[in-house]
Structure formats: C-alpha cells, structure tokens
Amino acid sequence: MAREHRTPLRRVSHGSLSALARSTGTDNGPTGLDFLEPAFTEFADEAATMHRNVQRMGDLYDTLETFNESFCSFLYALNMNAYTVEWPQAPRPDVSFRLGEERAELAAARAASQRTPAPPSPPPQAQQVDPREPTPSPDEDVGHAEISTRPGAQSSASNARAKPGAKPKATTAKEKKERMNAIDKVINALPLEYRGSEPRLRENMETIISKLMDAPKGLRVTECISPPELPQARANKCLIALVNRKAVKKTSAGGAALYTWVGIA
C-alpha cells in the first residue's frame, strides 16, 4: 500500500524534476523520459489521497446539513410550543413559596404561646371591715350587690367593644361614607385582581382593611381570618398585597407577624 503524505504536491515540482533528471545521467532509455516514471507514481498516489480527503469533506458537509435541518426543526417546535401553550402569569397562592412563610409564622406563634403561659390571677383580698361601721341589713346587701355587678357588666361590655378586630358601628352616614372612600382609595391602588376582576377577593380585602382600621395596635394573621368566607391563605394574600403597597406595616411581636394599618396619603 502506498504511503500517504501530508503535503501531496511538494515532491513533484519543477526543481525536483530537474534534480531527478540530472541525477540519472545520460542513460535515460530510448526516449529520455524514463526518470519521470517514479515521479508520476508518487503523483498518482498523492492525487488519490487528495481525492479521498475531498470525498470525506463532502460526507462531512452532508452530515452537517442533516444536523442543521434537524436542529432547525427542534427550534421551530420550541417556538410553536411557546405560542400554543398557555403558562400561568403568577404562582397560585396555594402552591407558591408563600406557604413556607405562612407555616413559619404559625409555628412561631404556637411556640410563643407555649413559652409564655398566662400569668395566674391573684387571689381576692378580703376587705377589712371597720368595727365602727354599722352592720348592713339584708336589703342593703342586695342593693350593694346590684351596684357592684353593674360596673362589672359595663367593664365586660367595654372590653368586648375594645377587642381587636371588632368592627364598630358608624354613628352617622357621613362616617360610613368617609370609611368606604378610604377603603376604595386603598383598593384602587392595588393590582387589578383586587379592583374588581375577582369580586370575592375584593370583598375579602374590604373585610381585612376594616378589621385593621378598627385595631390601632395591629392584628395577627389568625385574627384576620373568618372561615369559611375568608380562609387563612386568602388573608395572607391580601395582607401581602397591602404590605407591598405600604398601606400596612408588618412587624414582629412575640415571634409572630403583626400587621398595623398605615393607610395611603
């Protein structure tokens, strides 16, 4: 088998033929061209090698052309898939990363409630009776009992009214109108889904804003929910929207998140 060279035509040149002709001397056969036989043999081998290399380049070109067609088809399929498949614009609240934050807040609230038990109530102190005062009659005892029970009832009623999250009744139509205007002003500054595209979500947002307005000291997430109309996931979604709009300030109290109403100027 002929030996392949990396530079096929280097040995077959004008100088090499002249040198070969001079080296053979005067005995060149009847025609004087016998010295060309080994040169043309090498030339034929090199030409065959070049032909094989060119043929391999043609095969490589065909392979690259087939790959280009396949890759273009793949890119076209990806483009058509992007046009035809509808992807969600935002993560759903029940499967988004906010669930981790909600679980962490609930766990912190439970841990805080377990670490800080309610202090025991002090024992009632017996009133010292002045021996100089007259002993009250049974009728007077009944009257004193009625008088003593009334302040307790009034204090319990006032405590019930002062409970955070409880919505007080507006005394006049003007106050109701001002309150609704303030709520509408905040909702109009929120994303579109809170402004009317989802009526149920707008009602939940109005409920949470009303509760926050009635609680100057702030509310926790568990105090804003009212299942089944307002579950905890929906309340968290509304509170996060209010915090992002800076209408509500989020702080931490006792290991749990506390939301305080700020409003929009």
Query: What is the DSSP track for 43-102?
Result: HHHHHHHHHHHHHHHHHHHHHHHHHHHHHHHHHHHHHHHHHHS---SS--TTTSTHHHHH
Class of domain 97-104+167-265: mainly alpha
pLDDT band of 14, cuts 50, 70, 90: low
- In the chain, domain spans: 1-20+34-82, 97-104+167-265
pLDDT score recorded for residue 164: 47
pLDDT band of 68, cuts 50, 70, 90: very high
Query: Rounded CA gap, 170 and 213, in Å?
Result: 13
Residue 237 has pLDDT above 80, yes or no: yes
Which range has highest mean pLDDT (20-29, 134-143, 197-206)?
197-206
